[in-house]
Structures are given as structure tokens and as C-alpha cells.
Amino acid sequence: MEGTIKIKLVRSPICTPEKHKVIVRSLGLKKINQIVIRPDTAGFRGMVKKIPHLLAVVE
């Protein structure tokens, strides 16, 4: 699957700023250890870079 990125929610967004929660929900993540596949674009890369303490990129 070329051109996609796997994003995993590794920590809970509870007790994080509202902006962080909005990013997590907009990526489609709801549960811990859930993995979503998204297009590998600058927009999605930027979302992951905003909250690296909550998300991980799965290879």
C-alpha cells in the first residue's frame, strides 16, 4: 500500500487540551491501540507531529 500511513493511538487523550482531542477524533481514532490507515499527505503528517506523545506511526 504505497502512499498510506498507519497511525496508532498509544495514550489516552483524557486530560489533554481540547485541540489535541479534536485532532485525535478527526483522525478517526476512538480507542487505545486502535490503528487507522490514512493517506500519506502533509496534512496527516502534520496532525501526527502536533501530538507525538499520543500517537505513533506504525511501520
pLDDT value for 59: 85
Given the DSSP bridges, would you call strands 55-58 and 35-39 parallel, antiparallel or unpaired? unpaired
pLDDT value for 44: 96
pLDDT value for 1: 56
pLDDT value for 2: 72
**Sheet strands (E) in 1-59:** 4-9, 35-39, 55-58
| 8-53: pLDDT as tens digits | 999 999 999 999 999 999 999 999 999 999 999 999 999 999 999 9
- For 22, other C-beta atoms within 10 Å of its C-beta total 12
pTM: 0.91
Given the candidates 3.30.1390.20, 1.10.760.10, 3.40.50.720, 1.10.1050.10, the CATH classification of the domain at 4-58 is 3.30.1390.20
pLDDT value for 19: 97
- 1 CB burial (10 A radius; 0-12, 13-18, 19+): exposed
Q: What are the residue boundaries of the structural domains of the chain, listed by start?
A: 4-58
